[in-house]
Amino acid sequence: MKLGFDDEVEAFRAELLEWLAANRPSPEEMAADPSVSTGHAPAWARRWTRAMFDAGWLVPGWPAELGGRGVGSIETFVYLEELAKAKVPRTTNVQGLGIVAPSIVDYGTPEQVQHYALPILRGEATACLGMSEPDAGSDLASLKTRAVLEGDEWVIDGQKVWTSGANYADFCFLFCRTDPDAPKHKGISIVLVPMDTPGITVRPLPELIRPEHPDLNEVFLDGVRVPATNLVGTLNDGWAMANGSLAHERGM
């Protein structure tokens, strides 16, 4: 028995390989700036993400307007396999592309998709995922970061930790408690928080492997104010949305 893919899938593979050969960043380009550093994402990664988006190769299983070509799971598997063989990442903002953008597409408003998800997909913005806290790592439902609605703004106080890419992200997909009296799996919401908002302090954590390129961070939020319209999805339904976001992580 000889197992293989059908002609349509192999044609998809051939088209991808031809495009990669003509457009991929060179190993020298990636090696010159192999990782993020404080204050920026690599310029080559932003250009590369945009090139893949424009050509429909960023998320091939998505529709064209979101950087894809509407293919199935087998083609997506072949796509990821060939990228791995070529040693070319889709992005250095893994959480932004793999978790935050699809979660905004799933749960956000059309305006949030336009202003937050699409800039990630086009390589114009990066995002971090504000989940873990000092006392809420694997137990997300124990989070204490709190958002209180005052007029037309959320006022946010708390702390996140192990936040990958917070030192260069443009915004945070922040899980916070919006009903402190509800059971711990209830009363959680998601708010989009621009990282240049007053009241945010980011402290990179020391790393042994690549100390010159820190990626994990503590994030402190002290009286941070963002518009009420930055709420993603339904108020106090963050736990259900967290399960959806983490499903994207597992798929990633």
Where is 149: in which H helix or E strand? strand 146-150
Distance, first Cα to last Cα, the chain: 31
Cβ atoms of 129 and 219 closer than 8 Å? no
Burial 185-196 (b: 16+ CB within 10 A, else e): eebbbbbbbebe
Residue numbers annotated as active site: 249
SS3 category, 29: helix
* pLDDT (0 to 100) of residue 72: 94
Phi/psi for 32 (5° steps) reads -65, -25
Cα(68)–Cα(50) distance, rounded to whole angstroms?
Answer: 12
Confidence at residue 217, expressed as pLDDT on a 0 to 100 scale = 93
Q: Report the b/e string of 213-235 with b at 16+ CB within 10 A.
A: ebbbbbbbbeebebeeebbbbeb
Predicted local distance difference test score (pLDDT) of residue 249: 59
Tokens 């949030």 appear where?
Answer: 112
pLDDT of 242: 80
Q: What is the pLDDT of residue 240?
A: 86
Both tokens assigned to 224:
């941070």
CA proximity to 121, closest of 148, 138, 98, 142: 98
pLDDT at residue 166, rounded to an integer: 94
Token pair, residue 89, equals 């990442």
Query: How much is the pLDDT for 211?
Result: 63
Q: Are 221 and 157 in contact (CB under 8 A)?
A: yes
At 37 the pLDDT is 44
**pLDDT score at 251:** 57
Hunting for tokens 């199935």 — which residue is that?
A: 72
Residue 19: exposure state from Cβ atoms within 10 A (0-12, 13-18, ≥19)? middle
Rounded to the nearest 5 degrees, what angle is found at the Cα of 216, between the Cα atoms of 175 and 133?
Answer: 35
User: Looking at residue 42, what is its pLDDT?
Assistant: 84
| 247 Cβ contact partners less than 8 Å away, ≥ 6 residues apart | none
* pLDDT tens sequence for the chain (252 residues): 667 889 999 999 999 999 999 999 998 888 876 554 444 678 898 999 999 999 999 999 999 999 999 999 999 999 999 999 999 998 889 899 999 999 999 999 999 999 999 999 999 999 999 999 998 767 777 899 999 999 999 999 999 999 999 999 999 999 999 999 998 889 999 999 999 999 999 999 887 666 666 788 999 999 999 999 999 999 999 888 887 766 655 555
Q: What are 176's strand-pairing partners?
A: 189
